[in-house]
Chain A
Amino acid sequence: MSDTILNIENITKSFPRVIANKKVTFDIKKNAVHAILGENGAGKSTLVKILYGLLEPDEGNIKLNNKDFKVNSPAEARKQGIGMVFQHFSLFDSLSVKENLILGIDEKMSYSDLENKLENISSRYNLTLDLDAPITALSAGEKQRVEIVRILLQDPQILIMDEPTSVLTPQEVESLFVTLNALVKEGRTILYITHKLEEVISICDTVTIMRSGEIIDTSTTANQTAKTLATKMLGQKLDDLKTNYGHIKDEVNFEVKNISCDFNDPFLTDLKNISFQVRVGEIYGIAGVAGNGQSELMDILIGENINIKSGSITFDNKKIEKYGPQRRRDLSISFVPENRLGHSAVPELSLSENILLSQFPKNNFIRNGIILKNNVDDFANNVINEFKVITPGNDAKASSLSGGNLQKYVIGREISSKPKILIISHPTWGIDAGAEHSIRESLIELSQNGTSIIVISQDLDELIEITHKISVIYDGNLSKPFKTSEIEIEKLGLLMGGKNE
C-alpha cells in the first residue's frame, strides 16, 4: 500500500525537431496539489497531453493506482478518472452554460439528475454558476468554472489544470484556490501546470520542476522560496532586469487624447475616452485581461481602423488619427500586432517577401513600382542574422518557422528600420523561453537608443520586467499610468478586475 496515485516512469516523447520529454520519471501522491513547474517549452504540456490521451509516448510506462495506464483518447482518460481543464476554453460561445455542460457529458443523464448534481458540485466546491447565461456573457473566470464543473460531473480522481490562472484576475485566482482546496479535501488529486512561482508556493504541496524536457527536481514546497524555485526552473542565476529610467527624455512624442470608438457589435469592446502620453525612450505598458478592448485599441493605433468617434492621436506634433498604416510608417511609426500568421506575416510567403509588408521611407525596397529584390533579400538576411532566427534561408516560407522564430523575425523586421516609436501587442505570446528573453532584451535595448515603445500585453510579469509605466485597460477604459518601479501588484489586480478602489 502506498499513497501514490500515479507513477510516471521513463516517459520519452520526441518530435521532429525536439525531444519534448526525456526519461521523465516521478510519482504523484494522492490527495494533494502537485505542481509541474517550468518555462514555456519545458515539456509540461507534452507530458499532460500524454496523460490525457492526446499524445502517445515513444517510451515509458504510467501506472494509475498501481495498474498499467494506457489511453488513446481523452474520452478513455476521463473514463479512467483523469480530467483536464485546458488553458484555452473549449466552450460554445452562443450556447448557455447548461447546454455546454450537457454537451460535455459522455453518458446519458436527465435534466433533473444534472441539476441535482450541479447544485451539489456548486455548493461543495465554491463554483456558483448561472446555468442559463450564455457563455459570451461570462468572464474568463466564470468560463473556467464551467470547464471545471463539466469535468467534475464525471467524478475524476485526478484533475489536470493547465496554466489555470493565466487569464484570471487576482480575485478570481483566490476563488479558484478555494475550489482547489475543497477538491483536495474530498480526496481528489490536482496536477497543477504552471510557470508562476508564487502559485506553487501558496497552494501546491509538491512540485516537479521541468527544464528542456527533463525533470530537474521533485520536492515538497514547504522549504522552497520563489527564488530557489526560479533558479531551478531557469537553470541559471536570474539577472534581475532593473528598470532604467535614466535615458527617458521629458519630451512627449506620442499622445492619445480622449479616443472613443463605438462598434455596435457584441463581440467588440467600445473604447471610452482613452488618453495616454509616451515620452521619448519610454516603454509604456498597457495591461489587462484579454477582451477588454486591447485589439480594438491596437487597430486604431496601427491605423487599420480610422473610424473613431472622437479624440486625436498626435505624433511629433502631427495629428495622425486619420492616417492609414503606410502614412504612419512614413513618419517612422512601427507596429507588431498580436497575431503573427496572417496579420504581421503571411504564412504562404517567403521570409524575404514578408519584409515588404512593412516599408519605411529609408528602406529603398521599391523603385518605380518594381521590387528591388537584392535590397529586400539583404534586409531579410540581416534580420535573420542579427536576431538569430533559425531558418534554412530567406526563401523559407514564414509558415515553416516556429512561433518564437517567426516572432523574432517580425520584431527584427520592425526594429531594423529604427522606428521612432514601436507599437507592439503581446510580444512574447505563445513562444519559448529563449525567444522570449531575447525579444524582451531587444525591446529594452531599443528604448535605450531613444525609441518610444507601447506594449499591450496580458502578461503582467512581462510588463513589470520591461516597462517604465503601466496602465490598465478594462472594458474599454484606460486607467491612469503607474510608474512600474513603484507599482503595487494588488492595485493592478483590482484594476484588471474592474475595481477602481
Chain B
Amino acid sequence: MNSLFPSIVSRSQSSGLMNFFVPIISIVLTLITGSIIFILLGFDPVYALYTFFISPISSTYGISELFVKATPLALIAIGLSYCFKNNIYNIGAEGQLTMGAIFGGGIGILFHDTNAFWLLPLMIFAGAIGGALWGLIPAILKTKFNTNEILTSLMLVYVALFILDYLVVGPWKDPFGYSFPKSRPFSESGRMPLLFDGLRVHFGLIITLFLIFVSWFIFSKTIFGFQLKVSGYSPKAARYAGFNQTTLVFFAFAICGAFAGIAGLAEVSGPIGLLYRDISPNYGFTAIIVAFLGRLHPIGIIFASLVIALTYLGAEDAQLFLQIPSAVGFIFQGLVLFYLLGAELLINYKLTYKKLL
C-alpha cells in the first residue's frame, strides 16, 4: 500500500535545458488555464485569447504601448535581480518606484517653468537617489537589527504611497488644478523625449536597455556580480572568501531602489507628465514575476517584460470588447507565477509515494 500523500524528494541532478523550458512551459499552461476560464465564462476561447493577446499588438500604436508598459517592468525586474541573486527578498520595489517619482517629480515641480537641457538628467538622478534611499531603509534594518526584509520592504511601499498621497493633495497640489489631487505639470524639458511622433514610447526605453546591458556586464564579468552570486548561493562560502556581506546587501538594495526610482521617474516624466495618486498599476510588484519569469537573466527579463506587459494591454482590451473586468489581467499574471513556481519545484524535486508497511 502506498501513502496517501506524496513526499517531495530532491532530484539527484536537474537538467540545464529545463531552465530554459520552465518559463515556456508555464506560459503554455497559463494559456490553457486561461482558455478554460474563458470557456467557463461563456466565451469562445479562441476569440477571447485573440482579444487578450493578439489584438492589442496588431497595430503600431499597440506595439508602442507594449513597450511603454514593458519599460518600467524590465527596469525594475533587472534591479530586483541584484537582490534576488543575493538571496535578498526585496518586494518593496513599488515603494522605491514611488519615492523615485516623488524625488524626481519634486525637481520637476520645483522647476516647472524652467526649460533647460539639465532638467531631465537632474530629475533622473534625483529619482535614482530617492529610490535608492528608500531601498536602503530595509537594508539598514536587515543588517543592523536582523529584521526580515520581506516585511519591512513591503510595509515601506504603503508609507511611500501615503507620502505621495499627502503631497499631491497638500503642499504640491496644482494651484490651477481645480482641487484635483495632482501636481503642476512638468515643463517641456522635464519630460522624457518621445522616440517616434504620435507614439507614447519614450526615452525611458533607451535608458532601460542601457541599464540592462550594464547589468549583464556586472553579473557576468565583474567580481561584484560574482560576490552577489556566491553570497546568494552560500553565505558561508562568501564569509570564507572574505566578501563583505553587509556591503553586498547595501549595494543590492541601493541599486534595486535606484533602478525602481528611475522607472518611477520615467513614468511620471514620460506618459504622465505630472505627479498624482495612481502613477503605477503595481509595476513594482508585477516586476517580481518578470524577474523570475526571466530567470534573473538580462535577456530573459526583456522577453518576460514583454509577455507580462501584454497581460496589462490584454486586460484593457478584454474589458472593452468582452466586458470582462480588467482584473483578469492579474489572474493571468498570477497563473504565470503559480506555474513558474510549480514547474521550478518539479525540476529540482520529484514526488514519490512512499511504501507503507
Interface residue range, chain B: 10 to 19
Smallest CB separation, A294 vs chain B (Å): 16
Check if A370 sits within 8 Å of B234, measured CB to CB: no
Within 8 A of A (CB), among B334-357: 355, 357
Chain B CB within 8 A of A487 CB: no
Task: Write the B221-251 contact mask toward A (1 if CB under 8 angstroms, else 0).
Answer: 1111010011001101101111010000000
Chain B CB within 8 A of A335 CB: yes
Check if A303 sits within 8 Å of B242, measured CB to CB: yes
Q: Which residues of A contact B223 (CB under 8 A)?
A: 356, 366, 369-371
Residue with the greatest number of chain A CB neighbours at <10 A, chosen from B230, B234, B240, B355: B240
Smallest CB separation, B240 vs chain A (Å): 6
A interface secondary structure, majority:
loop
Q: Which residues of A contact B237 (CB under 8 A)?
A: 342-346, 357
Q: Which residues of A contact B355 (CB under 8 A)?
A: 72-73
Q: Which residues of B contact A303 (CB under 8 A)?
A: 242
Closest A residue by C-beta to B217: A370
Task: Write the B13-56 contact mask toward A (1 if CB under 8 angstroms, else 0).
Answer: 10000000000000000000000000000000000000000000
CA–CA, A323 to B357, complex, Å?
Answer: 56
Chain B CB within 8 A of A325 CB: yes
Check if B240 sits within 8 Å of A348, measured CB to CB: no
Check if B234 sits within 8 Å of A342, measured CB to CB: yes
Residue with the greatest number of chain B CB neighbours at <10 A, chosen from A76, A324, A346, A400: A346
Chain B CB within 8 A of A326 CB: yes
Partner of B233 from the list A329, A346, A366 (CB cut-off 8 Å) is A346
CA–CA, A11 to B13, complex, Å?
Answer: 28
Partner of B240 from the list A343, A349, A353 (CB cut-off 8 Å) is A343
Check if A304 sits within 8 Å of B240, measured CB to CB: yes
Partner of B241 from the list A72, A76, A342, A358 (CB cut-off 8 Å) is A358
Check if B221 sits within 8 Å of A349, measured CB to CB: no
Known: A344-B237, A345-B237. A369 touches B242 (CB 8 A): no
Chain B CB within 8 A of A302 CB: yes
Known: A75-B357, A353-B226. A325 touches B236 (CB 8 A): no
Smallest CB separation, B263 vs chain A (Å): 26
Chain B CB within 8 A of A498 CB: no
Check if B234 sits within 8 Å of A329, measured CB to CB: no
Q: Which residues of B contact A370 (CB under 8 A)?
A: 221-223
CA–CA, A369 to B233, complex, Å?
Answer: 21
Known: A366-B223, A369-B223. A357 touches B229 (CB 8 A): no
Chain B CB within 8 A of A291 CB: no
Check if B242 sits within 8 Å of A349, measured CB to CB: no
Chain B CB within 8 A of A481 CB: no
Closest B residue by C-beta to A324: B242
CA–CA, A370 to B237, complex, Å?
Answer: 20
Within 8 A of B (CB), among A70-121: 72-73, 75-76
CA–CA, A304 to B243, complex, Å?
Answer: 10
Q: Which residues of A contact B229 (CB under 8 A)?
A: 349
Chain B CB within 8 A of A134 CB: no
Smallest CB separation, A169 vs chain B (Å): 29
Chain B CB within 8 A of A170 CB: no
Q: Which residues of B contact A76 (CB under 8 A)?
A: 357
CA–CA, A341 to B13, complex, Å?
Answer: 15
Q: Which residues of B contact A72 (CB under 8 A)?
A: 355
CA–CA, A276 to B106, complex, Å?
Answer: 63
Partner of A73 from the list B221, B224, B357 (CB cut-off 8 Å) is B357
Check if A357 sits within 8 Å of B233, measured CB to CB: no
Task: Write the A344-365 contact mask toward B (1 if CB under 8 angstroms, else 0).
Answer: 1111110001001111000000
CA–CA, A396 to B357, complex, Å?
Answer: 41
Q: Which residues of B contact A349 (CB under 8 A)?
A: 229-230, 233
CA–CA, A417 to B355, complex, Å?
Answer: 52
Smallest CB separation, A313 vs chain B (Å): 16
Known: A345-B237, A347-B233. 6 other contacts (CB 8 A): A324-B244, A339-B236, A346-B237, A369-B222, A370-B221, A370-B222
A interface residues (Cβ-Cβ under 8 A, vs B): 72-73, 75-76, 302-304, 324-327, 329, 335, 337, 339, 342-349, 353, 356-359, 366, 369-371, 373, 400
Residue contacts A-B, CB under 8 angstroms, 26 given: A75-B357, A76-B357, A304-B240, A324-B242, A325-B240, A325-B241, A325-B242, A326-B241, A326-B242, A337-B240, A339-B236, A343-B237, A344-B237, A344-B240, A346-B237, A347-B234, A348-B233, A348-B234, A356-B226, A356-B241, A358-B240, A359-B241, A366-B223, A370-B222, A371-B221, A400-B13
- Smallest CB-CB A-B distances: 8 pairs: A326-B242, A325-B242, A357-B241, A342-B234, A346-B237, A343-B236, A304-B239, A348-B233
B interface residues (Cβ-Cβ under 8 A, vs A): 13, 221-224, 226, 229-230, 233-234, 236-237, 239-242, 244, 355, 357
